Each structure stands twice: as structure tokens, then as C-alpha cells.
Structure 1
């Protein structure tokens, strides 16, 4: 069956062209649960670190905006702490690969960090600087959903910034274990999580922890393999959308055509969410 991005109305998901952006009409946690509730033929794109394209650096608000001009998507991003405990977006513990700075992020204050400029995937310096998580949250409201990966920010600090901004409807967290999911759920029952659920044992551990499936999507791995069907069936039966990350494998294919074929096959084999370094290409491949 051909998959398509479902258009919802009322209090559920809407793909809205607003100010030239293809935004997600998320206003409440109920909208978020509807957005991520499994339904056959629904497909969703996630931008891995935003995107990895020429002229636009990873983990940059300007990159998120650029993606939304082409396709509806939510974004996996990487919060880390500066020396003076400001939460900024940076994947690596060090500055060298993606910025004009040098050394560990944790050795620099925010005043120092905001002087650096971000580099794109080819190492070219861009006009853009490292954003704070607060700036990203301010930008994302009413536009998209941010998925916070686990780096060096303490869970309580992550939970607090979501609470302070009343942002549970559009800021979600990645959890690797049922215990991590239980912490965030007990802290804020409205929060959405991207949970590592690669095995039946992991699935049972989340259920034993008492975290409702409506609060989770399931990351099942980075390979589009026949063995995934067991987990896909178990999770779909619980109303859970399943995500594969193309970044480590299929995003590495040499041509756009090869990547597009791989993206389409991932959805054809039953995954519902595709996280990719190239979210615009994914949107084009499945005609979002």
C-alpha cells in the first residue's frame, strides 16, 4: 500500500503552509499523541540533527527553517552544557568538527561560545552560530517538535526546561531504557518520548515500568531487515509508531536515487518514522 502523510483537522495534526513553512499544527499534548499514534499508511520524517546539507549546519535553527520550507518534519537535536551550564545545541563534546571553536565545549562559557560560527557538512563556515536550547524551544513552538537526544545534560535539568516552558506538547526526549522513561513520565505525565525498543525484552520492561504507550514512539534500529517485523507487529498492535534511523546506513548511499529507493523501502517494509540526515530528500522520495 502506498504510504502518504495523513492530513488531520480539528485538534489533531495538520500540515499547514504558514509563512512559507510546512509546519506541524501541534498546540496541545493531545495533538502530539494523535500525531504519533500508529495508523496504517501514515509516514513521518525526522531530521537527524536537523539536516546535513551544504550551506546549512547541523543543530541550527536556520537549518530547521530551511527543512520546513520543503517538507513537514520534526527534529532530533543534541543538547549539551557550556562551562557555565547554559544548554546549547551541539552533537560532539568538542567544538572542532562543527564550529570555528577549538577544544571541549565544557571548557568554554556561553559568552565565548556565542562568538563561534557553525560549519556545514563540508567544513565551510556559515554565518550561523550555536543556538541555545531555549532559543530552539522559542522558535519551535507552533512550528514543529524537537526530540532531545541524551548527551551530558542531567535529566532533571532537561525536565525542568520543558516544564518551565510548558513545552511537553512540542519538546520530547530520547530514552534508552525503561527506567529513564519512568523518570520523565513521573516528572511530567504529558511528555512524549522516543524510546529504544529493539527487543521483546525491552518492550516488556517499558510495560512493567507503567509508562503508557501513547507517550512513546519506538526506535527499533538503523537497519531495514526482515527481523524487524516481529517488533513492528508488537508495537503497532499497541498503537506505537516505529522509527528507523537512516543516518548510519542508508544516508551513506552514494546517489540521491539510491537513497530515495532505500527510504521508500523502509516505509514499504512497515516503519512509520524515518530519521535522516536528508529529511528534504525523504520528503521528496515519499512525496510529502
Structure 2
């Protein structure tokens, strides 16, 4: 009887782990899907996932109130490492680049990266995903990893003890998808970009792939107006979220805004490294 009870319990636990789902603290849209688009200018989640499959956006997850919040605070397993989150993702039309899963902290318990799903496509069926009216369903698993200055995978596929390993992030919709894109029109296609365009901010040296970059690095809240040829009267500096900085940073990736005497201005991204 004891052996049967233990066996039955093992079956129950296995079944639970196979069907258990994760939740995050993101808002949901009218259809019950998680809103994953980050509004870089206002440093909050957007009102909706208003992007098509070939449109660039900043993906973000908020783990406030989940087991991940405490996991991130724990001492890393690898010496000298920093803990972060990753999102293993795939779509209803096929897979995307597996090297684009790593996220970094945006603020507080919010982690993210800039994505373009179409540019990340590997086995994703481009023809089907770009049919007029097609919506791409995106599924995924949130997991932890650790990194050091010279090792982007010092720890990998890590999970809190209270989260079932391999569980999907499921908002509770019938499809089980984490989020979906807008119906495809082909009118919002974004320009190509690569992770190594932004130095090693998001491990670009290791993963110089298309359609992947640090959060808010491609689209920012700082408007880029065509300037005149008049002299520059002053400079302003912003982080990648569009927040104004007190002074020019001594290192890292930031935005420089050159203001001319007629009020026009131009912006450019600058990457400074410590020599």
C-alpha cells in the first residue's frame, strides 16, 4: 500500500509539472493576452501590443510578486555573476533565433530586450506569417540565467524551486500563447538592426544577430528632428528609455541631443567604453 501511494504521488507530481504554467505581473489586453510591449518614453507598459510581426518593439516582463522576484535577489551560483531572466520563445508559424532569449533589467522587476520577430525567424513560415490579416501567436518560457563580464551563460536554464521547470508563461487564454501580434498589413515593416550595433550591452560580441538588441535601443522616446547647419548651442543626454540625464555619461550606451541656436536639434546614439 505504501509503495502504491508513493507511486501515485509521483504520477500526480509529474502530471502537475507537465501542465503547470507561469504567470507574470504584466497587464492584459481585452482578449486576455499579456501586454508585453514596453513604452520606452513613459517607462511603463504600452496600452496594447500594437505591433505587427515585422515591426520592431521592446519586449518586457514584470516579475513583481512572482517567485522570480526573490530568485533574482539570491546570491548567484557562479562566482562574480549577475542574475537575469531569459524568455525561450516560439511562434505558431515556427521558431525564432534561440540566441535572442536573454533579457536585461529595464527597471525594478522589469526585464526586456528589443525584438523584431520576423528578423529573428529561423523556421518561422514567413509566407504564412505575412499573409494579409495573419496574427502571429507567440509562446514562451521564462527562465533564469547568470552572466559575467566574459561569460553570457555562466548559469543557464535556472528555476526557482517553486516554479515547474519548463513551464510556459500562460495568461490563461484558450490558445496558451503569451501574446499575439496585430493582424498583418505589411505597412509597418521596420528597418533591419543587429545586436552588435550596440556594442556588448546585450552580449552583442557573442550574439551579433539580426532583430535583437538592448531594450529601447532601437526605438526611443527622444524625437529625432532634422536640424539646420547653424552652430550648436547646447547638448542634452538621455538614457535608452528616453529619460534625461544630469550630465554626459563616462561610459555605456546613451543618446546625445545637439540643440542648435534656431531651436532645431538632432540626436545620435553614442557608445563609450572604458579604456
- Using the size of structure 1 for normalisation, the TM-score is 0.24
The structure whose residues are more often helix, as a share, is: 1
- Using the size of structure 2 for normalisation, the TM-score is 0.25
The structure whose residues are more often strand, as a share, is: 2
